[in-house]
Amino acid sequence: MSGNNEHEHHHDHEHDHEHEGCGCCCGHDHEHEEDEDFIKKGIFRIALGLILLCLAIFTKGNISIVLYIASYIVFGYDVVLRAVSNIMHGHLFDENFLMSLATICALAIGEYTEAAAVMLFYQIGEFLQDTVVSRSRKSIKDLMELNIDDVNILKDGKIVTVEAEAVEVGDTVVVKPGEKIPVDGVIIQGETSLDMKSLTGESVPVEKGQGDSVISGSLNNSSLIYVKAEKKYADSTVAGILEMVEHASSNKSQTESFISRFAGIYTPIVVFAAIAVVLIPTLMGHDLRTWLYRALIFLVASCPCALVVSIPLTFFAGIGTLSRKGVLVKGSNYIELLSRTDTVVMDKTGTITKGEFDVTDVKGEETLKYAAALERFSTHPMGKAVVKKYRGSYSSVKDVSEISGYGISGTIDGKNILVGSKKLMDREGIECEQGYNIYVAAEGKYIGAIAVEDTIKEDSKSAVSQLGIQGIKNITMLTGDKKEIAEAVAKEAGIGNVYSELLPADKVSVVEKMCGTGSQVVAAIGDGINDAPVLARADVGIAMGGIGSDAAIEAADVVIMEDSLAKVPAAIKLSRATMKLCRENVGFVLAVKIIVLVLAVVGKSNMWMAVFADVGTALLAVLNSIRITKY
């Protein structure tokens, strides 16, 4: 990018440290120390330059000139050196070149005070901008609170402390109250409540016990637990989150790309315009010094740093704010796409519904008792729901046999019991009613039925409503489930368009048709392996649940670290707020610069106005950008 080599140099340096700190507390501390050193050096440099400048003002003659030049060197040596370095590498027209050209020419015509002052205010502005960027980045990381350093593992009956990266799959990790779980795994001993707000943005603790899966980054609130590691630290949820956040800025949005192209064209134009401001009036017989001064004002005011700093910062702050709320965006380009989304397609199971079956109706006095007694021996999700519903004692069960594709049979209290689908009843010639999922027969006679349903999540209906309020014109549900079930769920959630009984390839075809209909931006939401192709094909793929399918998360552009559909309209709203701030910055900066540039040509502005048009607008734009962190 020809218009921001200085910022690329400094901010690339920052990102290098971010990458070094990814997944390691000591790296994060090193980055923090670098930021503190940078702030101290900046303060010392500005203070030293100010002392020299004040001495120059209050002295006379050659000593004054020497002090002016010394203060200029303190304030601007790195700007001039970068300008020279960039010229040698073929980058002539950049911000450093503009500042160097303007101030060196000012020195040449004897405007020592203004030359040094321009560099002073430039450095103050840059210092404040970079301090805001540094602290904004640090606050985002602190809010996530995901870095993990030392880990306690159980080895040969003793507790040993090791680094997080040293934990192997199968190790038993000991997590005390107040500590974070370092790796993904399963609780093998103990019960506790976990604070997962750093991961999901949700403040309500989650109760976990033996046999429950847990994810790294969760804070152990109450009791000692033993966790069997199922992943190494580098492969765990916490490392993946940090990597996604750290590298998100590498995917530039269209607005950022526009700024890059804009700076490359804009900078040479203003340089040649400044030359014209000097040459044309001088050739017409006007005073060279007067028009050279105006050209210098023109050059300083035209520096594009306000745009090339504030726009990427706005997206960075937006990504950080979303991550704090449990929504991980893999690049600023997806923030822009989210802001323009007008079509949303979503999976049913696990996205709109809980993905867990519940018993909603039981017909027959002994139906649940017999069904639960046999379903204990089944792995079918509906069977598990029946067992969960039953609260009584079990009779002895003999001769249990699974009837593949139909159900299960066994002997209870001397009776031959059948539990299964209507197909099983039909096969056995047992008459029964319609509308249920599980039927029970004893000794060849129908005794009752059970209705089991996958209920919708508590926030699904309100989330769909919020999407409509935000102007999402088309909300569609895609599912492989039966038509009647799909339509019932869609009706309850408030979704008008439904495609049912679809294979994964069919879902992709539907999304492809939507994506190919013009300018609309299609966002797809899903959580399972079968949703991955759809998430990859949509303009924006949104994976539900950070502990869901790895394939869905890999294919998605946005990952919601909680099974809450309400996060989607919230993410769209915040993305639109981010884009609004970008547009405000671009409009404000360009308006101020145009006004000062015109005033410079007609002789109605001075160098101080030019400094405000450059550094002042940059600082205001930066402060405007970080407003997004307050959302």
Instruction: Give tens-digit pLDDT for 513-561.
Output: 888 776 789 999 987 666 778 888 899 999 886 555 566 677 788 988 7
Token pair of 540, please? Answer: 């924006």
Query: Has this prediction a pTM greater than 0.75?
Result: no
Distance (Å, rounded) from C-alpha 224 to C-alpha 227? 10
Only one residue has tokens 């159980």, namely 154
Roughly how many angstroms between the first and final C-alpha of the chain, as a whole number? 31
The side-by-side arrangement of strands in the sheet containing 521-526 is 327-329, 558-560, 540-544, 521-526, 341-347, 474-478, 497-499
Q: State the pairing for strand pair 521-526/540-544.
A: parallel
Active site residues: 347
- Kindly report, as residue ranges, where domains of CATH 3.40.1110.10 are found in the chain: 355-455
Greatest pairwise CA separation for the chain in angstroms: 119
CATH H superfamily, domain 355-455:
Calcium-transporting ATPase, cytoplasmic domain N (3.40.1110.10)
- Closest to 222 measured CA to CA, from 207, 233, 211: 207
Distance (Å, rounded) from C-alpha 615 to C-alpha 592? 12
CA angle 82, 85, 89 (to 5 degrees): 135
Residue 387 · residue 366 · CB < 8 Å? no
- Kindly report, as residue ranges, where domains of CATH 3.40.50.1000 are found in the chain: 332-352+457-556
Distance (Å, rounded) from C-alpha 391 to C-alpha 256? 60
Distance (Å, rounded) from C-alpha 383 to C-alpha 93? 71
Q: State the pairing for strand pair 540-544/407-412.
A: unpaired
Q: Which residues of the chain have pLDDT under 50?
A: 1-32, 139-140, 142-144, 201-203, 248-249
Amino acid at 262: F
CA dihedral 64, 66, 70, 76 (to 10 degrees): 90
Question: What is residue 228's predicted lDDT score, i.e. its pLDDT?
Answer: 94
Question: What is residue 304's predicted lDDT score, i.e. its pLDDT?
Answer: 74
CA angle 251, 255, 258 (to 5 degrees): 100
Pick the CATH number of 332-352+457-556 from 3.40.50.300, 1.20.1260.10, 3.40.718.10, 3.40.50.1000: 3.40.50.1000
